[in-house]
Structure 1
Amino acid sequence: MASRSNEVPVAISGAGPVGMALAIDLALRGIPSVLFEKRSEEERIVARANMTNVRSMEHFRRWGIADALRDNDPVSPMVYRDVAFVTRLTGHEVLRFPRAYEWSERLPIASEVAEWAPNEAIEKTLRDRVKSLPLIDLRFENEVKRFEQNDHGVTVTVTTPDGEQTLLAQYMVVSEGSRSRLRRDGLNVRMEGHPNLARSFLWHIKAPALAELWKATPMASMLLFYNEDRAGDSLVPQSGTDHWAYFCSPVPEDVDGDDWEACRSMLFRAIGEEFEVEPLAGGTFITHSIQAPRFDFGRVLLAGDSAHMVSPMGGFGMNIGIGDAADLGWKLAALLDGWGGPLMLPSYSIERGEAARFILAGCESNQAVGSRELVRDGIEDDGPVGEAIRAQVAEDIAIQKARQFKRMGGQLGYRYSSSPIIYRDGTDQPATSFEDYVPSSYPGNRAPHHWLADGSSLYDHLGNGFTLLVLGDVDHDALTDAAAERNVPLQILTVEDPDLTDLGELYSANATLIRSDHHVAWRGDALPDDLDHLLDVVTGSVSFA
C-alpha cells in the first residue's frame, strides 16, 4: 500500500473493475494513483458482469491476472460453460451453444480465451492485484464529493470516515458507474444515443435445491427461457450450486421488477415448479444505449459506465470499460513521463468513443431479438409436432443469436480509424463487422495475433511504450535514436522462421509500430523520411493530415 499523500499524479473516483484496472495499468508503468471507493471493503454490489471476454483477458494477461481470474472462479465445475435455450427447466431443450464462454484450447487469433466468472471473482482478482502493487493507494469509505481544476491540476474534495479532506492530483478519472454523480453534477455531461431501450430486472437469489431441477439440459453458464410466456428471462449460476442470478429484459408490462413476489412467480413458471428460494438483492434497472459526447474534460476524464452504458445483450458492459483503462493508462503515463503531447487525452475520447459506438450498435441489435421475436406457438408441445417447432426455433436462434454468443467481431474487431495519433497509410481496409473478425494490420486496428514457435504470444513481447516489429530489411537505428532523444520508450522486435514467414503473411509490411495496448500506430516497408513527424503523430504532439 502506498503511503498516504495529499498529492498524487492520478486520482480515480470509483474502485470497481474499471477503476482498479486503470490503477494497475498505471502502477505497472511506474505511475502512482489513489483509488477512492465509497463502499466499505466488505460491501459487495449487485453487478451484472459475468464474462471477461477475449479482448479483456488479453489485457488481464498483460496485467498478470488472467490465470488468477480462472483460479478465483467460484462457479461449480458441474456447470458447463455453455449457453442453453430451454422451454422450461423441467421442459425441453431447444438449442445449446457448447463452450460459448470458454474454450478448452487456445485461439490462434488471440493471446487469451474468455473466462466466465461472476463479478465476485472479477473484483477479487483485481483487488488482490491492486493490493500487491505499492504504487496504488486504495481508500475504502472515501467518496469524492467535488473537484476544481485548472491548468496545473485537480483539487479533489473527499468525504472520509475522519471528515472532509482535499487532495491535489494532476489528473482525475471518474469511473463511478452508470449513475455517476460527478459526471452529472460536476461535469454537467448529457449522455447521447438511445436511452430507455428496455425495463429490466436482476435478482440475486439463494436456492440450494435449484440445481436438482435442471432436467431439460445439463447445467449451463447461461440458461435462456424460450416458452410461450415470451418473458425474456434467463438464469445464471453465480457461485457453487446455490447462488443464482435471475435476469429479465424486457420485463413484461404487467410485472413490477422491484416486486420480489411477482418476479418469484415468473421464476417458478420458468423452472416449471416451485422450490425454496431466498432473495439476496435485486430490482429494476433501465437498459440504455448511450455514451458521453466526449470522455475528456480538461484534466478530468470519464471511464467505464460513467462514460457509456450498453445493453447487457452481449456481455460488453464491463469489457468496454476494461478497454478504456487499457487505452487511457498508457496515455496518462506518457503525459506524466513527459513524452506525450496535447492530443493524448483528446485521442482517448476519439478512440474509445469510436469503439463504444461500434459495440453499442451491435448490442442494440442483440437486444432487439429475443424470445418475443423467436418463440413460436406450440414450442412446448410434446411429440413430433413440438419437436418440429423447436427445431425451427433452434434454427432461427442459430442464425439470429450467434453474433451475441459465438462471434468475435465485437470483441476483437473495433478499431481506431478516426484517431489523431494513428499514422494512416492511405490504403483501403474492409468494413468493420460485429459478427466476423478479420485480422488487419492497418493502422488503428488491433495488431494481428500470432503464437510464436516457442509457445509464447506475440503480445508477450510488446513493451510498455512502442514496439517496432521488424519483418524485412528496415534500418531502424535512426528511429531508435530519434525516440531516445525524446524519451519515447521504443523497443525493436525481430523474429526468425517459421515466425518470420507467418508474421509476414499477417502483417504485409516490413515494419509495424505497435502500441502497448496492442493497436497498430504505423506500418510500412520503409521508415518515413521525416521521423520527427512520425513520432509527433504517434505521441500526440501533432495530428496527421
Structure 2
Amino acid sequence: MKSTATVRVPVLVVGGSLVGLSASLFLGRLGVEHLLVERHSDTSRHPRGRGNNVRTMELYRTAGVEGRIREAASVLADNHGILQAPSLTGEDQQWLFREMDPGGGLARFSPAGWCLCSQNDLEPVLVRAARELGGDLRFSHEMLSFDQDPDGVTALVKSSETGEHLTVRADYVIAADGPRSPARERLGIDMAGPGALFHNVSITFRAPGLAEVVGDRHFIACYLTDPDADGALLPVDNHTHWVFHAPWHPDRGETLEDFTDERCADHIRRATGALDLDVEITGKAPWHAAERVAERYGSGRVFLAGDSAHEMSPTGAFGSNTGIQDAHNLAWKLAAVLDGSAGPGLLESYEAERRPVAQATSARASARSAEHSHPGYDPAPAATGARQKGVLTVALGYAYPRGAVVGAAPDLPVVPDRMQLTGAPGTRAPHLWLRSGTTRRSTLDLYERSFVLLTGSAGAAWRIAAAALAAAWSLPLDCYAVGEDPGDDFAPEGGADWAEAHGTTPAGAVLVRPDGFVAWRAPGAVDDPEAALRDALGQLLHRT
C-alpha cells in the first residue's frame, strides 16, 4: 500500500452523482467544510435521470443554481408530455399526458417549475457550483472501508489514478454510493419492499433522420408498444442524438452480450416504424428498476441518501428527486449540529422524516409505471387499476408527521390526496410573493441558512422574543414582519393575507425551518412569546 495522507473534515460525502453532488452544493451553501469522493473519473456521460420536479427546482433556486440548470437544459425546454403509440409512423397515437402544468396552475404553489435536464448536463453544473463554494470534490477516489467510534468516522480512500491511500477523519458521513451501496452493506442495513420490477438496456444512438419522423411531437418520452419491438424513446437534442430503453429479460437467460449493435439498431427501426432509418449505436448501459427502501437510514454517524436508501421505478423520475431532497434535509441538520445550534438528537429526525416519504413515493412510482405500461414492466394484476391523480402532491405536497416538527397533526398523511400547503407544521411552507421596495421575492427565498419566524404587523412581541432568544442561544434565527405597515419588512403582493395563507391570525407567528418546512406555529398572541418560542425550538433542536 502506498503512503497514506490524512485529511480532517466535518463531513465526508461518498458518491459524486446527482445526490452526492447536491449534498456538496447544499453543504457548501451552509458553510460546512466537506470532502466528496467518487470512484468514477468524471460525471455521467450517459443521458438519464432527466426529470427535475418542482420541489427539486425550488431547492436549486434557493441554492442559486436554477438559472444555470435551465440554461444547461435549454435544448429540451420545449419538450412536454409522454406519448404512447405502437410506432411513430402508425395510428393510435395517445398522449398519456400532454403538459406538466396545464393551465399554469402550479404558479399558485411555487416560484419554480419542472425542468427537463439530463443527468449528464446537470452534474457538471453542480460540480462547478460546489467547487465555487469551496467543496473539495475528488473523482477517481474510492472509499475502501470505514470504522466508527463515539467521536467520528475514520475512512480509508484510494486514488485509482495514483494508487495512493488517504485516511479521512470526519464527524459524519453521507453515503450516496448507489443502489448496491458498499456503505449500506458494511452497516448491515437490509432493504425491504417488492424488489426488482423490470430491467432495461439504455441505448444511445445517432439518427439524423429520426427528427423528420418525430415531426412536431416534442415529447419527453415516447413509449412504443409493438410487442415485438417495444421500448421507450427519449430525445437528447431533438435532432441527431437519441436514447432508447429496450426491455432486457435476464430471467429468460438474456445477457448483455446479446444486445449487439446490429440487434439494437434493428429493434429501434422496428419500434419507431422507420424501417430504413440510418442508426449508429454510440453506447449501451444496463439499468434495473426496483422498489426497495432501506430498513434504516443510517447507523451512528453514517447516513444513507439517494439510491443507497431507496430504489424506485423510473416513471416520473421520483427516485432522483427524492434523493436530492434527502440530501437537502440532511445538510441543514448536519450544519446545525456541527455549529452547535442543535444537539445530535436532531439527526434522528432524518430517518423519521425521509423514510416514510420514500416508502410512499416508491409505491406511487411503481403504480405510475403500471398505469403507463412502461416497456418491460409486467406488473401483477393488483398493481394495476385506476389512473393515478395528484402527481404534484407526491412531488411537492409530501409532509413530515414526525421528526423535527412541533404540533403536527398525528393523522397528517405523508402524501395527501390533494395539495394542502396551508402552513400546517410538517408541510412545506406556503409560497407568497413579497415586495420590499423594488425587490420582489417568494417567501420560499427566505429559507435556507437559518430558522425564520414570520409575523404580521401586530407581531412585535414575537419579533422581540425571537431576537432575545437568538442572542441568548447564539442561534441563526431571522424574523420578518409581513404586512402593509410602513415598518414591516415585506408587503404581500396583490393584497394577499399572509396570516390566512399560513393558517394563523395577524397576531400569530409561524416558525419555518431552513428547508422551508413549517416547524411550528402559534395561532395568535400568547402571554410569554419568548417562553413559547424557546419551548418549540428546544424540542426541535434537542436543546434545553
- TM-score grouping bracket, smaller chain normalisation: 0.7 to 0.9
Residue number in structure 2 paired with 1:341:
343
Following the alignment from structure 2 to structure 1, what is the Cα–Cα distance between the partners of residues 238 and 333? 40
Residue number in structure 2 paired with 1:508:
503
Secondary structure at 1:113 match in 2: coil
Residue number in structure 1 paired with 2:66:
66
| 8 Å contact kept, 2:51–2:316 | no
Residue number in structure 2 paired with 1:387:
none
* 1:300-333 deviation per Cα after TM superposition (whole angstroms, max 9, x unaligned): 1111111111111111111011101110111110
Residue number in structure 2 paired with 1:466:
451
Normalised by the length of structure 1, the TM-score is 0.85
Following the alignment from structure 2 to structure 1, what is the Cα–Cα distance between the partners of residues 369 and 416? 14
Residue number in structure 2 paired with 1:376:
none
Cα 1:278–1:101 shift into 2, 3 Å:
farther
Equivalence map 1:114-513=2 (5 Å): 114-134=114-134, 136-160=135-159, 161-162=161-162, 163-184=164-185, 186-214=186-214, 218-227=217-226, 229=227, 233-239=231-237, 241-248=239-246, 256=254, 258=256, 259-261=258-260, 262-274=263-275, 275-371=277-373, 400=387, 407-419=391-403, 421-424=404-407, 431=413, 433=415, 436-453=418-435, 455-471=440-456, 473-474=458-459, 475-476=461-462, 477-497=464-484, 499=492, 501-509=496-504, 510-513=508-511
* 1:497-536 deviation per Cα after TM superposition (whole angstroms, max 9, x unaligned): 4627432221121211001111010011245644432121
Worse-superposed segment, 297-306 or 471-480: 471-480
Q: Which runs of 5+ in 2 are unaligned?
A: 376-383, 485-490
Residue number in structure 2 paired with 1:534:
536
* 1:466-516 deviation per Cα after TM superposition (whole angstroms, max 9, x unaligned): 000113633122233123222221011111246274322211212110011
Following the alignment from structure 2 to structure 1, what is the Cα–Cα distance between the partners of residues 57 and 156? 34
The amino acid across from 1:88 in the alignment is S
Cα 1:513–1:372 shift into 2, 3 Å:
closer
| 8 Å contact kept, 2:11–2:173 | yes
Secondary structure at 1:81 match in 2: coil
Deviation at 1:456, TM superposition (A): 1.6
Equivalence map 1:12-51=2 (5 Å): 12-41=13-42, 44-46=44-46, 48-51=48-51
Following the alignment from structure 1 to structure 2, what is the Cα–Cα distance between the partners of residues 267 and 199? 17
Deviation at 1:277, TM superposition (A): 1.9
Worse-superposed segment, 96-105 or 81-90: 96-105
| 8 Å contact kept, 2:76–2:117 | no
Secondary structure at 2:154 match in 1: strand
Residue number in structure 2 paired with 1:113:
113
| 8 Å contact kept, 2:148–2:301 | yes
Following the alignment from structure 2 to structure 1, what is the Cα–Cα distance between the partners of residues 251 and 228? 12
| 8 Å contact kept, 1:483–1:535 | no
Following the alignment from structure 1 to structure 2, what is the Cα–Cα distance between the partners of residues 204 and 436? 38
Following the alignment from structure 2 to structure 1, what is the Cα–Cα distance between the partners of residues 71 and 385? 32
Deviation at 1:96, TM superposition (A): 6.0
Following the alignment from structure 2 to structure 1, what is the Cα–Cα distance between the partners of residues 122 and 48? 11
Following the alignment from structure 1 to structure 2, what is the Cα–Cα distance between the partners of residues 432 and 232? 35
Secondary structure at 1:346 match in 2: helix
| 8 Å contact kept, 1:26–1:32 | yes
Residue number in structure 2 paired with 1:394:
none
Secondary structure at 2:126 match in 1: helix
Sequence identity (%):
29
Following the alignment from structure 1 to structure 2, what is the Cα–Cα distance between the partners of residues 370 and 414? 22
What RMSD over aligned residues (CA atoms) do the two structures have, in Å? 2.9
The amino acid across from 1:71 in the alignment is E
